[in-house]
Amino acid sequence: MRETERKADSSEEEKVQGGQRELEERVLRTGFCTGCGACVNLCPYQASYRDRTVILHHCDLAQGRCFAFCPRTPADLTDMKSRFYDEADLTHELGAVKGFFIARAAQEGNRRRSQHGGVVTALMTLALREGLIDAAVLTEKGEELLPRAVTVSEPEAAAQLGGSRFVVSPTVAEFNRALRTDCRRIGVVATPCQALAIAKMRLQPLAAAESGMDRLKLVVGLFCGWALSWRPLTDILREKTDLAAVIGMDIPPSRYHTLEVYMPEETARFSLDEITPCVRESCRSCADMTAEFSDLSVGSARLPEGWEAARLWNQVIVRTKRGRDLLELARRRGVLEFREVPAGNLEKLKAASLNKKKAANRPQGQSGAGDRMGQAG
Ligand SMILES: Cc1cc2nc3c(=O)[nH]c(=O)nc-3n(C[C@H](O)[C@H](O)[C@H](O)COP(=O)(O)OP(=O)(O)OC[C@H]3O[C@@H](n4cnc5c(N)ncnc54)[C@H](O)[C@@H]3O)c2cc1C
């Protein structure tokens, strides 16, 4: 059976093309919008507001890039994977796998600013330093837990932007903006929905040079169980924390059943029973846990020593030659260090990823978002 994006309605003859009107009817009004920003900064008609996408002006074009690039409009993912990845590497559970590693940033200082082992920041910083990219689309902490998507060109600036923001970032809107600048080689750090939107942009009929997509040189994907809706999340967190003092968050493996919220002097813990209702509606139907449309994907590690040791490492899936070359460069330059992959880790990751795919296909109301908190718990 062909793998397709979840349909916004049950019609057999799913419309695969549309314009703003279809986008509004099928995605924006139905809770399927991921907030990735793929439809923003293409034209003046849509904008990102907080963690939402809003329509500023109506557009009556029958077909639009806004609809074509949206990660929640129909797409033949199987076909896309066979275009972008080596057939021999494709797996049903994780997409393309050329290699699987446990790694972390070699410098302790770099890890301290990062969410887990600091692999993502180390790779983006290295890519900038080596001139593989001249611009990195990243996410920084904004006010009241609202992330901001930014483009940086200095490795030192990229090195400061570690850490995961669990509210969606309009990364693809920022990528669209970067395409209109004179950046020649752009790298992006993207969650699964953002990476899918960027992959759909690569499919557009315009020649790569005309669309600017020939300037996309690197996509580092993040594993992602889900993102949280800003409004309900901040309502809950405000009860126990000063939002301005929050410096980070994490979700340990699922047996902890907790969202940890870090402040300089203390950590507040929230039961996932409280947090699950804040999971973004569109994440409940997302079937991609590992950002399958990227050059390499990075998530937290699982190690026999337990979570306190594992949280300082990353699992890395290499998907493309470009991803493999970057990881090998990082090894040669001493930017990353590696340890042996524990037996069974890849199989556990595959099982967790498959769970997310199954949960995405369950009828609404049984999404199982709680099952996959903390991914491969
Ligand atoms: C919403 C979300 C959900 C996640 N869920 C899981 C999960 O279930 N299981 C799992 O193993 N890992 C998950 N991750 C990934 C994990 O939190 C780490 O990002 C990953 O392990 C890489 O760690 P690191 O130390 O290498 O990252 P760092 O070196 O700290 O780099 C983090 C990078 O992420 C970027 N970033 C931060 N927030 C966002 C955002 N909202 N959107 C796009 N880019 C962002 C930053 O620009 C930075 O480049 C999630 C991340 C996000 C953003």
Rounded to the nearest whole angstrom, what is the distance from the C-alpha of residue 96 to the centroid of ligand 1? 20
Percent of the chain whose pLDDT exceeds 90: 86
9: confidence class by pLDDT, cuts 50, 70, 90: very low
Interior/surface letters 189-206, b for 16+ CB within 10 angstroms, e for the rest: bbbbbbbbbbbbbbeeee
Is the pLDDT at 234 greater than 90, yes or no? yes
The pLDDT value given to residue 305: 96
Domains of the chain: 20-69 (no CATH), 77-226+285-372 (3.40.640), 230-278 (3.10.450.750)
210: confidence class by pLDDT, cuts 50, 70, 90: confident
359 Cβ contact partners less than 8 Å away, ≥ 6 residues apart: 284, 367, 368, 369, 371, 372
Tell me, using a 6 A CB cutoff, whether residue 225 lines ligand 1: yes
In the numeric block, the tokens 């920003």 are attached to: 37
The pair phi, psi for residue 221, each rounded to 5°, is -90, 150
21: confidence class by pLDDT, cuts 50, 70, 90: very high
209: confidence class by pLDDT, cuts 50, 70, 90: confident
The pLDDT value given to residue 375: 46
How distant is the alpha carbon of residue 79 from its chain centre? 21
Q: Ligand 1, atom 4: nearest CA belongs to which residue? A: 224
Is the pLDDT at 374 greater than 50, yes or no? no
Which pTM was predicted?
0.94
The pLDDT value given to residue 15: 63
DSSP assigned state of 311? T
Rounded to the nearest whole angstrom, what is the distance from the C-alpha of residue 99 to the centroid of ligand 1? 20
Is the pLDDT at 322 greater than 70, yes or no? yes
DSSP assignments along 125-156, one per residue: HHHHHTTS-SEEEEEE--GGG--EEEEE--HH
What mean pLDDT comes out for the span 244-265?
94
Asked if 167 and 146 count as a contact pair (C-beta separation under 8 A), the reply is yes
| Helices 192-202, 171-178: inter-axial angle, 10-degree rounding | 30
Tell me, using a 6 A CB cutoff, whether residue 187 lines ligand 1: no
DSSP assigned state of 72? T
Tell me, using a 6 A CB cutoff, whether residue 375 lines ligand 1: yes
User: What is the number of the ligand 1 atom nearest to the C-alpha of 113?
Assistant: 30
Residue among 145, 160, 164, 228 to mutate when testing ligand 1 (max atoms within 8 A of CB): 164
Is the pLDDT at 110 greater than 90, yes or no? no
CA distance 106 to 162: 15
Asked if 218 and 322 count as a contact pair (C-beta separation under 8 A), the reply is yes
CA distance 116 to 103: 10
Residue among 48, 193, 222 to mutate when testing ligand 1 (max atoms within 8 A of CB): 222
- Quote the mean pLDDT of the chain: 92
What mean pLDDT comes out for the span 26-55?
97
The pLDDT value given to residue 362: 73
Asked if 341 and 218 count as a contact pair (C-beta separation under 8 A), the reply is no
3-state DSSP assignment of residue 352: helix
CA distance 362 to 153: 42
> For the chain, what is the radius of gyration of the CA atoms?
19
Closest by CA position to 137, among listed 126, 153, 123, 122: 153
The pLDDT value given to residue 364: 56
Tell me, using a 6 A CB cutoff, whether residue 336 lines ligand 1: no
Q: Ligand 1, atom 20: nearest CA belongs to which residue? A: 299
